[in-house]
Amino acid sequence: MPTVYFIDADGNQFEAEAEVGSNVMETAVDNFIDGIVGECGGVLSCATCHCYVDEKWLDKLEPASEQEEDMLDMAMEPKDNSRLSCQIEMTDALDGLVVHLPKSQF
């Protein structure tokens, strides 16, 4: 199982094993990682699973869809490396993925 490393706004690191085929939001919620809310359950109707993907991992991800880009416009403090964690599907190639969590989702 691939591992995801979550780093909160205070610099604390948490790791969680992800099921291949699940997404980063599901991994966070299933492992009680504070900072990822995922109110819509991953259907691209909120931005409460917003995260910042570590720069080293950006080129390993599928590009954001137009719908995801539109939702990121509603996220708190979006950056160039912002993604919705519900749209990052876990694969073995993403083992070790590092995501940083924003100070707030609201």
Structural element, H or E, at residue 5: strand 3-7
Could you tell me the pLDDT band of residue 106, with boundaries at 50, 70 and 90? confident
For 6-41, give the secondary structure using H, E and C: EECCCCCEEEEECCCCCEHHHHHHHCCCCCCCCCCC
CATH number at residue 34: 3.10.20.30
Structural domain includes residue 106: no
Distance of CA 43 to the CA centre of its chain: 14
Structural domain includes residue 68: yes
**Sheet containing 82-84, strands listed edge to edge, beginning at the edge strand earlier in sequence:** 13-17, 3-7, 97-100, 50-53, 82-84
Structural domain includes residue 23: yes
CA distance 40 to 57: 25
Q: Domain span at residue 65? A: 3-100
Number of domains the chain contains:
1
pLDDT tens figures, 52-66: 999 999 999 999 999
pLDDT tens figures, 24-53: 999 999 999 999 999 999 999 999 999 999
